[in-house]
Amino acid sequence: MRLDQEAFARGMWPEGLVAALATLAVAWPLTELLRDSSWLWAAVLMVAVVALTGAVLRTLDVPPSLVALAQLLLGLTGLMLTYLRETLWRGLLPTGETLDQVGVLLREAGTVLQTYAAPAPVTEGVSFLLVSVLTLTAVSVDSMGVTGRAPAGAGIPLAAGFLVSVSNTGRAMEPWYFAAVAVLWLIMLAQQGHRVLAGWSSADRREARGDDIGVKVPSYRGLGQVLGALALVAAVLGAAALPHLPPTFFGDGLARNPDARTAGGGGDVTFTETMDPAQDLRNQSRTPVLTYRTTATRLEPLRVTATERWEDGRWVAPQRTQSGLTQVGEPIPPPPGLGDDVPVQEQQLTVTGNSLEPPHLATSTPLVALDLPEDAAYRFDPDDRTVVLQTPATSYGTTYLAVGGSGSLPEGVGASPADPGQFDPEVLEVDPVSRAAVEELTAEVVGEETNTLETAVLIQDHLRSSAYTYSLTLAPEAQDDASDPIGGFLDTRQGYCVQFATAMVMMARTEGIPARMAVGFLPGDPQPDGTRSVVASDAHTWPELWIEGMGWTRFEPTPGVRSEAPPAYARAQEGGDTEPTTTTVTQTPTPTETEAPAPAPEPEETWQDRLGDLLPLIGKILLGLLVMGLLLAIVPWAGRRHRERALAEATTPAEQAEAHWTWLTRSLRDLSVPDPPERSPRAMGRHYRSVTTLNRSGEAALARLTAVLEQARYGRPGSVTPGQVEPLGDDVRRVVEQVREATPWNVRANAALLPRSGMEGIRSMLGRRR
């Protein structure tokens, strides 16, 4: 029965359970960032496998390094069987196809995380990524906090995973998320503290002083617990008193909430995922997002992307597939629907500094040519005329068309309505919640007008009139009814560019005009060197409408207080409530060198080519890791053989008593306990009692070891019986275990991974071979 209890204690089953629960608690905030929890069951299963493996192997007294290695191997095996089973050879061993499938799943997860705002859909790739990360976290936490007996260090992987989850929410963290992880981590610390405190001097321990008179040692266990509780209270109160910084992002894409900003208000841009530049408009940072020059005298906004998808009261980022994009190197097709007789002028825009991350790229429209550096690549979406950048580009040049004024347009422009069959139905869908209000206002504004261009101008000028107020703060009535944001804006007539542009899109759609939302930047501010600087607060949105004879056409319904003047072709010929202002720029000529013709673009390097180039390096890294893993497995194995070698060679009870003592001294030497002087067994026992911390059972075990050793050395031959030697193995384990529990975590880790006895054993084996 005692052996069963000792084996259970050695397995540290309660500690393993708490470590597994702490790992799962880290993933709790992710349930709000994803649309469903289908991935959670696989995560729970993998964490349970890791915890159970560790507990069983520790119970069997397997070396710590082998425990961690077995947990990692079983975790990886579980992941392959769950997500990659069809690629395994005979359902067991990974193949080249397995590696390819891992790449496919990770790319799929990256696409989802970069495209969707929370809550994001759970694809197979997202599930694979999350379960893999949690499995590795479980291995780290269990190896450090339980097997390595360093729960304080296990807080590092717990904190890393937890902060990634909660910081991506972009709002104040719910207290129970923190409480769950914190309480479980504190329980892990308490479990370790209980083991350590149990070895402190206490009322149940007696030491000899003077003439062998037993004197009680004062109790410090209660004092240690009181000090720990006071430290925890001080930490909580101190943290509450300190100023707090706003949350930041640890990853792009998933749950990129506009409320999550850097403490200094950096130049990061969020509207490309949220389709709402509200927080960028409030950003006070002057860090440039773009720096550019242009040949145009009439400036245009810089467009980044567009979408026609309106879902649940908000604009949703477009979903693009590789098959719908042009191939790398293909020229940009001409803008569809633009008549040959529409007066246009080519303008150039040269970006000298760009901090937008791929796949986003800003340029004026309609774009007709793009010049990227040789090491950059892009694809083009012909549906919404968006450039999808595939590699970073800090500089580039573009050519776009500037359409002339309304007086120079051909008479037939906008005269005929668009054919609905030529368009995606989404560009004509009107928000069902606000349809009645939108139709009523549109009928009042448009009247009997049938020309689509004139209809668009009427809607634009109505929204730009003095009846509407530009404000980054929505009216309270609009905020109270979040189910109908468009109706709320039309009632209160207060909002920013998103509300104005959305209203015009919906009003145009009620008139049968295809319309979509574009997002990008205003032209920015001029700089002394002749360039213009665009910052995050220059974020802007505007509607694009399909006008027969002009194609997709930009309009500007946002009042002039926070926008440019309407395009020249979109200005009423007479009257109107607003007097548009025209922004012009005098471009400072700068001498430029004659550029040589650009060389023909080289074939695009695919990810398979790049992977092939990296394979030699990856092979060396894996070989190094394999060698390191073998060393971490061999050294503990050699140490165990060296510590118990004498016991395996002993034949008589006296030799076995000496072997047990050798086992004890070598084990304690690994824990940095100095060897006793070569004196009598009693003197050596006193040495160990003076330099270690043992409780009553540990001292009794050490006393039995010294007593049997003394009898083996000084008693008559054959006086030591097998019955006396048999329990000495348990005594050695008990003494070593109690010393290990009172030893600092770094010493324990070194004793587990690179024990001194292991190096001695390797040298001994090499010496015997020589």
Q: Is the pLDDT of residue 724 over 80?
A: yes
Domain count across the chain: 3
pLDDT at 50: 93
Reported as a single tens digit per residue, the pLDDT across 650-670 is 888 888 888 999 999 999 998
Which pLDDT value is given to residue 554? 95
Q: What is the pLDDT of residues 53-72, one digit of tens each?
A: 999 998 888 888 888 889 99
pLDDT attached to residue 593: 36
Is 299's pLDDT higher than 90?
A: no
State whether 349 and 483 are in the same domain: yes
H or E element, residue 292: strand 288-294
Partner residues linked to 533 by β-bridges: 291, 525
Residue 688 lies in a domain: yes
Measured distance CA(351)–CA(400) in Å, rounded: 13
User: Which range is most confident: 199-203, 555-559, 621-625, 627-631?
Assistant: 555-559
User: Are 58 and 175 within one domain?
Assistant: yes
Assess whether 147 and 287 both reside in one domain.
no
Sheet holding 532-535, edge to edge: 367-371, 396-403, 344-354, 288-294, 532-535, 525-526
C-alpha torsion sign, points 303, 305, 311, 312: negative
The amino acid occupying position 734 is R
- Helix or strand (DSSP H, E) at 444: helix 435-446
User: What are the tens digits of pLDDT across the range 225-243?
Assistant: 566 666 666 665 655 554 4
The residue that leads in pLDDT, 701 or 406, is 701
Radius of gyration of the chain (CA): 36
* Domain termination site, one of 546, 580, 614: 580
pLDDT at 395: 92
Task: Find the mean pLDDT for residues 515-522.
Answer: 94
Q: Note whether 69 and 758 are within 8 A (CB).
A: no
Is residue 249 in some structural domain?
no
Distance from C-alpha of 371 to C-alpha of 350, rounded to nearest angstrom: 9
Give the whole-number percent of the chain exceeding pLDDT 70: 77
Over range 382-396, report the average pLDDT: 88
Answer yes or no: is pLDDT of 258 > 50. Answer: no
Do 178 and 299 belong to one domain? no
According to the model, what pLDDT value does residue 264 have?
34
pLDDT at residue number 213: 38
Q: Is 358:406 a contact under the CB 8 Å cutoff?
A: no
pLDDT band per the 50, 70, 90 thresholds, residue 562:
low
Say how far apart CA 82 and CA 78 lie, in whole Å.
Answer: 6
341 domain-assigned: yes
- pLDDT, one tens digit per residue, over 595-636 is 444 444 445 555 445 555 555 666 667 676 677 666 667 888
Residue 305 or residue 113, greater confidence:
305
Does residue 295 sit within a domain? yes
Is residue 549 included in any domain, yes or no? yes
Across 84-88, 446-450, 506-510, least confident range: 84-88
User: pLDDT: is 201 or 326 the higher one?
Assistant: 326
pLDDT in the model for residue 428: 94
Domain that holds residue 56: 2-204+217-241
Maximal CA-CA distance, the chain: 125
Give yes or no: residues 318 and 439 share one domain: yes
pLDDT per residue over 108-121, tens digit each? 777 666 555 556 77
Q: How confident is the model at residue 622, as a pLDDT?
A: 67
What distance in Å separates the CA atoms of residue 138 and residue 76, rounded to the nearest whole number?
Answer: 12
Average pLDDT over residues 185-202: 69
Q: Let me know whether 337 and 477 are in one domain.
A: yes
Pair 556, 644 in one domain: no
At 448 the pLDDT is 92
Last residue in a domain, options 512, 547, 580: 580
Map 303-327 to HEC letters. EEEEECCEECCEECCCCCCHHHCCC
Tell me what percent of the residues of the chain surpass a pLDDT of 90.
25
Task: Judge whether 254 lies within some domain.
Answer: no
pLDDT digits (tens, 9 = 90+) for 272-283: 767 888 778 877
Confidence at residue 580, expressed as pLDDT on a 0 to 100 scale: 40
pLDDT at residue 148 in the model: 81
Q: Say whether both 200 and 345 belong to one domain.
A: no
Q: SS3 breakdown of the chain: % helix, strand, coil, rounded to 5?
A: 50, 10, 35
- Quick one: 88 and 185 in the same domain? yes
For the cut 50, the answer to whether the pLDDT of residue 151 exceeds it is yes
Q: Which residue's entry shows tokens 């600087």?
A: 533
Q: Which residue has the higher pLDDT, 171 or 683?
A: 683
Residue 250 forms part of a structural domain: no
Same domain, 298 and 413: yes
Q: What is the pTM of this model?
A: 0.48
Arithmetic mean of pLDDT over the chain? 79
Least confident of 8-12, 160-164, 266-270, 469-473: 266-270
Are 221 and 289 found together in one domain? no
CATH code at position 719 = 1.20.120
Q: Tell me: pLDDT of 249 over 70.
A: no
**Averaged pLDDT, 233-255:** 46
Question: What band does 255 get if pLDDT is binned at 50, 70 and 90?
Answer: very low
Q: Does position 167 have pLDDT exceeding 60, yes or no?
A: no
- Rounded to an integer, the average pLDDT of 723-740 is 89
Residue 256 located in a structural domain: no
Mean pLDDT of 560-576: 70
237 Cβ contact partners less than 8 Å away, ≥ 6 residues apart = none
Indicate whether 567 and 701 sit together in one domain: no
- Dihedral angle, C-alpha 183, 188, 189, 193, nearest 10 °: 130
